[in-house]
Structure 1
Amino acid sequence: MKKLPYILLTLLVTQVLAPPLPAGSEGYHPPVAETFPDLLMPVNLRHLNIRNPSVTAIVRIGTDGEILDHVVISASHAQLIGPAERALKFARFQPAHDETGTLVADLNLEVHFRDPGREIAGTIAMSVTDHIDENIQGLAHTQPAMQMSLPDELDKPLSVSGDGEILVPVDADDQPVKGRAVIELYVDAQGIPRLPKILVSDHPAITKAALHRIEGLRFEPPTRNGLPTVVKARLPFNFD
């Protein structure tokens, strides 16, 4: 009877943004934003006078300039996250490239919101973001900024709530492959793994099987002081 691969969850103790996926080189050029929607401060938040209203996300840009995945790691206010994530769907980027061609790469992106009331005194500016359900307007004072947390700042240790499908790695001759892989990823506020990156792998088939497993994994949503947060983790996968 074959042993099933297992995972052991190990949390990072440092808060470091993921570098671009390709190895650095003298000819490397990171991705650049070409178009991005102009975002206005939601009307129900303008009275809060939030300084530098913004959302910071790490986005993975594909070779065609499209966003493959993203994770929000901080926000001036929780209610800015939704509009920022919707805006990402309309953003277009010039992909990273080097002398070999275009590359998949990660980009640390800050999404800023304009407050028309601060820019033009006495002028009322309207946008689609102004039409917000009155039921949530009263929540503006109760939802503080969201930020990335260190593992020891979580209310409880990160834990897996749903397992991914197990794919047995095999080689070109369809023979089982034994080995190990370590994947670094972010767990977002909903407990969904984001931006997986292979740190160590003994075989391409091991890499494929580990990434396949990640797709189906779900975690208990991480919290800090009872509020949603994001945390970075490393998952070792052993295939015996």
Structure 2
Amino acid sequence: MTKGLLALGMSCLMAGGSSDTNARADAESASQKAIEVKAQPMPTFPSKLLSKGIHTGSVVVALSVDELGYLTDWLVLEATDREFALAVAEVIDYWTFEPAKRGGIPFYTEQMLPIYFSDAGGQGRKRTKGRFSISDFFQDVPSMSPAMRYRLNPIVFANASELDEAPTLLFGVEPRIPAAEQASCSGEEAVFEFYVDQEGNVRMPTLLEKGEGVSPLVTSAAQYALEQWRFEPLTKAGQPVVTKLRQRFIFNPSYAQFGR
């Protein structure tokens, strides 16, 4: 669909959840086990940053891991310098994961991983401190202070409220609902949360809530549609950023309609 055809639908983009959604999230997060990361090989401290006098840094990565423990996507949300992000990119596809579990049952989820870098006191021995603690699924993304960014070449995450302009959808498609599912999901809703990277691509759409009549086939159709959406690159103070948005779908008998 074109930008013009989807303009009205973008009124349902949200940066935060309702109190009911957050309450359900708190209850679910209390009974679920986070992704476990086996981070080997470890990323190497970038040598070119040592020559600039930089001896510490950090990267925050969003990961999506399926119920079998496979890494399906990852995205750097923040990095004190892009060289740290490149160091992570060189090794992350080799890492293995234990999937998140709810009530002992594995499930697909998206979580965040902060990675902290430090050299060996500037003595020429490069190492990485891997503090691989994953934040709670529903916790806000931590923001770096200006002092952490070194004013070099950072990657920055911004909340939707901090963007220079409201998100503009350039391209999107509606979910194709299987004919056998159209009657049962009619009038039902589903809410997804997703990242928008610095190029405007939708990354890691994750189901937050759905109506009782919405089957996994319907949510899969909505997720597949979202993965094809593309936004005008988002900025904060004129600089490209990564952000996180939500989309509510209201399903009609023969098609999915955007709405509140």
SS at structure 2 position matched to 1:171: helix
Q: Deviations over 1:124-146 (max 9, x none)?
A: 769xxxxxxxxxxxxxx874322
1:212 pairs, out of 192, 213, 224, with 224
- Tell me, in whole angstroms, the C-alpha distance in 1 between the residues paired with 2:72 and 2:25: 14
Question: Contact 2:45 / 2:126 at 8 angstroms: preserved in 1?
Answer: no
Query: Where does residue 142 of structure 2 map in the other structure?
Result: none
Q: What percentage of residue pairs aligned between the two structures are identical?
A: 23
1:107 aligns with 2:111: yes
Tell me how far 1:51 sits from its aligned partner: 5.6
Q: Deviations over 1:37-84 (max 9, x none)?
A: 222222222233336312111212223322122232211113322332
Q: Deviations over 1:15-53 (max 9, x none)?
A: xxx999993355x43221123222222222223333631
1:55 aligns with 2:59: yes
| Aligned length in residues | 215
1:192 aligns with 2:195: no
Matches within 5 A, 1:1-240: 7-8=9-10, 9-12=12-15, 23-24=28-29, 26=31, 28-50=32-54, 52-97=56-101, 99-116=103-120, 118-119=121-122, 121=123, 123=124, 143-164=152-173, 166-171=175-180, 177-179=185-187, 180-202=189-211, 203-204=214-215, 205-240=217-252
- Tell me, in whole angstroms, the C-alpha distance in 2 between the residues paired with 1:143 and 1:219: 26
Q: Deviations over 1:62-118 (max 9, x none)?
A: 2332212223221111332233233211111222335543333333212233435x3
- Tell me, in whole angstroms, the C-alpha distance in 1 between the residues paired with 2:84 and 2:171: 29
Question: Contact 1:39 / 1:114 at 8 angstroms: preserved in 2?
Answer: no
Q: CA RMSD in A?
A: 3.4
CA 13–104 in structure 1, closer or farther in 2 if over 3 Å, else same: closer
SS at structure 2 position matched to 1:63: coil
| Greater helix share, structure number | 2
Structure 2 length-normalised TM: 0.68
Q: Which sits farther off after the overlay, 91-100 or 147-156?
A: 91-100
Relative contact order higher in (CA < 8 Å, ≥ 6 apart): 1
Query: Where does residue 129 of structure 1 map in the other structure?
Result: none
CA 23–170 in structure 1, closer or farther in 2 if over 3 Å, else same: farther
- The AA in structure 2 aligned to 1:103 is F
Q: Deviations over 1:137-196 (max 9, x none)?
A: xxxx87432221122322222111222364134335x75842332211111112121222
CA 30–152 in structure 1, closer or farther in 2 if over 3 Å, else same: closer
Greater C-alpha Rg: 1
Query: Where does residue 132 of structure 1 map in the other structure?
Result: none
Question: Contact 2:205 / 2:227 at 8 angstroms: preserved in 1?
Answer: no
- Tell me, in whole angstroms, the C-alpha distance in 1 between the residues paired with 2:66 and 2:157: 24
- Tell me, in whole angstroms, the C-alpha distance in 2 between the residues paired with 1:111 and 1:55: 5
